Amino acid sequence: MIGILELLIVLIFCLPWLLAFIDILRSDFQGHAKMIWLITVILVPFLGAMVYFIMGRKQKIKKRFVA
């Protein structure tokens, strides 16, 4: 049976990966950037997610809403 400490450690390492993965899937990027970020986050889970949050979010295509 896993304890609270083990569960907390798993969440600390899995939550950034999951959030980065979902954010990449829901966002638009230019060219092949989306595929490159997905591969990076999948192959290097924790570090890839951290690099995405630092560098990758700036590469997203911003959508403009016209009222």
- 50 Cβ contact list (under 8 Å, min separation 6): 16
Note down pLDDT in tens along the chain; length 67 residues. 778 999 999 888 899 999 999 999 999 999 999 999 999 999 998 899 999 999 998 888 877 776 6
For residue 60, how many other CB atoms are within 10 A of its CB?
Answer: 17
pLDDT at residue 67 in the model: 65
Tell whether 21 is covered by a domain: yes
- The reply to whether 66 falls in a domain is no
Q: Which range marks the domain in which residue 13 is found?
A: 4-59
- 67 occurs within a structural domain: no
Q: How many residues does the chain have?
A: 67
pLDDT of residue 49: 94
pLDDT score recorded for residue 63: 76
Q: How many domains would you assign to the chain?
A: 1
Q: Is residue 55 part of a domain?
A: yes
Report the pLDDT value the prediction gives residue 19, as an integer from 0 to 100.
Answer: 95
Is 49 a member of any domain? yes
